[in-house]
Amino acid sequence: MQGLHLTADCYDCRCPPALLLDPVRLRQFVVEQTLRSGLTIVGEKFHPFQSADGSPAGVTCALLLAESHLAIHTWPERQAVTLDVYVCNFTEDNSAKASALLDTLISSFAPARWQTHRLQRGSGASDQTLALEQLTPHTAYGTQLAPPLAQMQSPFQHIEIADSAEFGKVMRLDGAFMTSERDEFFYHECLVHPAALSHPGPRRALIIGGGDGGSSEELLKHPSIEQITLCEIDPMVIQLARLHLQQIHHGALDDPRVRHVAQDGFAYVQETASAAAAGQRYDLILLDLTDPQGANGSALAADCYTSEFLQACRALLNPGGALVMHLGSPFHHPQRFALLRQRLNSVFSLVHPYTVHVPLYGALWGMAIASDSLDPLRLDSHAIACRLGDRAVGELQYYNENVHSALFALPNFVQNLGA
């Protein structure tokens, strides 16, 4: 079964109408091109359809190949054609023949627009699935995952944890990659330490989201931390992380300094800000959230990206405190990056965006530190090195005193977004 599967959807085809309507003409063309490609026909079927008035209404055809099959469906009323070529590569690699045939067919139907997909099948990892996440409607990133170690549909989302060859255990929420054992430090260290090291001694922190425990684990490396409020709307995320993602949280989810709140982050912040009690203020607020618009169209965390929510967070910060959040990819999500930066600028006096490449996300990712007084660029590398040493912050795989300032060195195209 090892082979290559190619498909194409062709629109606004400008070919001679007979190719879409006449099974005899279509057969002559398809057989000729298939044989010319070097593939072997062992059977065929061409079936014409008719409209209610008896006029031609398209053709479905299938060629059985010694190498596998070719299928074509024409839609003359839409000037459209769908193409499907599958070849087995078990004893001989027929990929070039299949690709050449598909290219010829597309060219001959002359579509104004078309979309193709290429799928390697039966590659030997029979239990593996290529998991893709759409970065945009036009671009996806993916990696192969083994059958899920755990999955469940909570009241809020579909949660899945599966193993992968490169990333170790991976957590996905509603099909979107959240974190992995082997690359989580790119995201979590950069979300936490630039702000935490810039603060002279953070004692209380609020994390909205963060149910995998990675951001809590990084915060707990700072000895001044007395309490972390982890506000995660979905307790099932924490439950599965406890069981399967120990290499990410290292027990932080059960540290006595971590206070769990199972509540919507927007509601929690609004209620706490309304109380305005000094004891409920924080030195750091980390928005460790899912994207405002998920790959499947869900928007579980959308309210936590609004100006209203950011204003409420600001009211919860102690003097000298800071909020940290991710802004999405400046390349793939430039509008989101710019909009969130503008919202932060409308609420806080100081906003410092920065970037880090996150392998699991397949993209350069944007983050920002926002505050009315804390400036992460006031400390040079020597001062950061001293704080790292004084606090004995260890086991860092990405962040260090030189990386600190480098994170904020933005390429021009990023600097211009939302400025």
Q: Which helix (H) or strand (E) holds 214?
A: helix 214-219
Residue from 183, 283, 288, 291 carrying the catalytic annotation: 288
Contacting residues for 411 by C-beta, under 8 A, at least 6 apart? none
Cα distance between residue 196 and residue 324, in whole Å: 10
Cα distance between residue 366 and residue 416, in whole Å: 13
Query: Sign of the C-alpha dihedral, residues 32, 34, 36, 39?
Result: negative
Cα distance between residue 299 and residue 197, in whole Å: 32
Contacting residues for 26 by C-beta, under 8 A, at least 6 apart? 18, 19, 20, 46, 59, 61, 72, 74
Pairing verdict, β 150-153 and 258-261: unpaired
Q: Is 234 helix (H, G, I), strand (E, B) or coil?
A: coil
Cα distance between residue 394 and residue 390, in whole Å: 11
Count Cβ atoms below 10 Å from residue 260 Cβ, excluding itself: 15
Which position has the token pair 């459209």? 80
288 annotated active-site = yes
Cα distance between residue 298 and residue 168, in whole Å: 26
Residue 206 pairs in a beta bridge with 229, 285
Q: Is 412 helix (H, G, I), strand (E, B) or coil?
A: helix
Q: What Å distances lie between residue 132 and 171, 172, 385, 388, CA to CA? A: 13, 11, 39, 38
User: Which tokens go with 208?
Assistant: 């909205």
Cα distance between residue 202 and residue 227, in whole Å: 10
Question: What is the chain's Cα-based Rg?
Answer: 27
Contacting residues for 80 by C-beta, under 8 A, at least 6 apart? 9, 10, 11, 12, 13, 74, 111
Catalytic annotation, residues: 288
